[in-house]
Structure 1
Amino acid sequence: MFSAFSQQRTDFLKVSKVVDGDTFWVINSRGKEEKIRLIGVNTPEVRNTGRTQVEYFGKEASDFVKALLTGRRVRLEYDVGRYDRYKRTLAYVYLEDGTFLNALLVKEGFANVATYPPNVKYVELFMKLEREARNKKKGLWKE
């Protein structure tokens, strides 16, 4: 699995629920639930809320992340902007084994690159991984 280590260290937090492929909740250090949105990537939508349509490969992306995160703990790394306009915490996410979740999703074709400055720390890595996934016709890029 793809792994990377950051200079920024935080404690591991328990995942309390997974919403979809790029959004989940953790129990923060104050014992409260906190909504996390992955930085730099976007997975297809899986829920039809009236505003959002169910998108191709959404269920697969959501199931992949649920399998990785359910009942697990993660470490969060932040970039320049800590919150988005919906008040979700923006983070790069690492599993306990060091797997860099954001990068893994792009590498395996479960997500595409979605960069919003100023949070661009890993944009070059994500772009490279997306090109490779497209070339290998993985996940979203299957014919």
Structure 2
Amino acid sequence: MRRDRIAELSRLATGLAVYILCSCFAQAEILSGRVVKIADGDTLTVLDKSNRQHKIRLIGIDAPERKQPFGTVSRQNLADLVFGKEVAVEWHKQDRYQRVLGKVLLNGQDVNLKQIKAGLAWHYTQYDKDLRLADKRLYAEAQKAADLKGIGLWSDPSPVAPWDFRHNKPAPAVADEGCEIRLPGFRYKIDPVICGICRNALKSVSTLPGFMELVRLATRPGSDEAN
């Protein structure tokens, strides 16, 4: 009897999980149409077959504001990706501004993710609860990769997140923004003391010939003995 009871509870739990999962997918809707306007790097307008316009806020990402560095670049990149093209928007709900919150798909590819990969949007973790777990992981990994490569907004030593910019929060403090070397797939921190010495030396050299002379003097044979 006990085993039968456990088996029955197990079936009920499985059934409940399946029901919840199906309910979640049932709530998802697909909006199809042509992109007719790009507001910024995470907002666009879709015209459906009934000639009705829908303002779409790309879910799970936050692009630089127009007055921020890379704001215009982010908007242009989104335009290059989807403007004038037919897209599908996978969505669950609208925000308080009546914008559709959704994932924009172009030929089945996630446009939201492409913005992050290009280094032109943040993974907006504060508002990604409606994303699938797999998408959350992809967005987080894409941001880390873009940051590591130093592409797009990540080429700035201390980029300001849009949500901080909107609240006039300052950029995070950095010990020495010049003490870092970034190459594709590579990042190396330089000791601040060494970095400071190099910076002070370079400040005194205003021309290329002067710089070359500095290098020659520093590397000539016997320079150590002279000191």
TM range (shorter): 0.7 to 0.9
* Structure 2: 5+ residue stretches without partners: 1-24, 157-227
Larger Rg computed on CA atoms: 2
Task: Give me the whole-angstrom Cα distance separating, in 1, the residues matched to 2:53 and 2:76.
Answer: 21
Deviation at 1:27, TM superposition (A): 1.1
State the match for 2:95 in structure 1: 84
Deviation at 1:72, TM superposition (A): 0.8
Q: Partner of 1:78: helix, strand, or coil?
A: strand
Q: Partner of 2:142: helix, strand, or coil?
A: helix
**Percent of matched pairs sharing the same residue:** 32
The one-letter code sitting in structure 2 at the alignment partner of 1:73 is: E
Task: Give me the whole-angstrom Cα distance separating, in 2, the residues matched to 1:63 and 1:128.
Answer: 23
Deviation at 1:78, TM superposition (A): 1.7
Encode CA deviations 1:84-119: one digit per residue, 9 max, x unaligned: 1211001101113x3210011111101001131531
Of structures 1 and 2, the one scoring higher in RCO (CA 8 A, sep 6+) is 1
State the match for 1:141 in structure 2: 154
TM-score, structure 1 as length reference: 0.80
Aligned with residue 43 of structure 1, among 63, 74, 78? 63
State the match for 2:140 in structure 1: 127
The one-letter code sitting in structure 2 at the alignment partner of 1:112 is: W
The structure carrying a bigger helix percent of its residues is: 2
Deviation at 1:66, TM superposition (A): 1.1
Aligned with residue 121 of structure 2, among 97, 103, 111? 111
State the match for 2:200 in structure 1: none
Establish whether residue 60 from structure 1 lines up as the match of residue 73 from structure 2. yes
* Structure 1: 5+ residue stretches without partners: 1-6, 47-53
TM-score, structure 2 as length reference: 0.52
State the match for 1:94 in structure 2: 105
Quick check: 35-44 or 113-122, which moved more? 113-122
